[in-house]
Amino acid sequence: RKEVEQDPGPFNVPEGATVAFNCTYSNSASQSFFWYRQDCRKEPKLLMSVYSSGNEDGRFTAQLNRASQYISLLIRDSKLSDSATYLCVVKGDNSWGKLQFGAGTQVVVTP
């Protein structure tokens, strides 16, 4: 079983609509959680950290469910520029742990 699993998509979303997707992680001792965004053939860029209480950054909302070991990302009012691959990232159980990446969920926003 992979340590971080994501639905690869693609999620085809009309402009202005809402899209949500999850990822699951296997290590219950994981301490930090992130969503990174990666455009085609570019480097991953941090979209947002994910906190236990859930957090929002503009049109983006992230949730963490430690009991069920999943993380979610919701994008409201989708823009064409939101088209990208969204990488779910989990950091290990030590203070300087490696990042464990999922394979990514592709989102395609259409006009």
Partner 1 sequence: DAGVTQSPTHLIKTRGQQVTLRCSPKSGHDTVSWYQQALGQGPQFIFQYYEEEERQRGNFPDRFSGHQFPNYSSELNVNALLLGDSALYLCASSLASGVSDTQYFGPGTRLTVL
The mark string for 4-43 relative to partner 1 (x by CB under 8 A, - otherwise) is x---------------------------x-x------xxx
Provide the sign of the torsion angle of the four alpha carbons 70, 92, 9, 84, taken in this order.
Answer: positive
Contact between 96 and partner 1 per CB under 8 A: yes
Gyration radius of the chain over CA positions:
13
- Residue 44 or 61: which CB sits closer to partner 1? 44
d(C-alpha 52, C-alpha 17), whole Å: 26
Helix (H) or strand (E) holding 6: strand 4-6
Minimum distance from CB of 83 to partner 1 (Å)?
Answer: 17
The site for partner 1 (CB under 8 A) is made up of 4, 32, 34, 41-46, 49, 87, 95-104
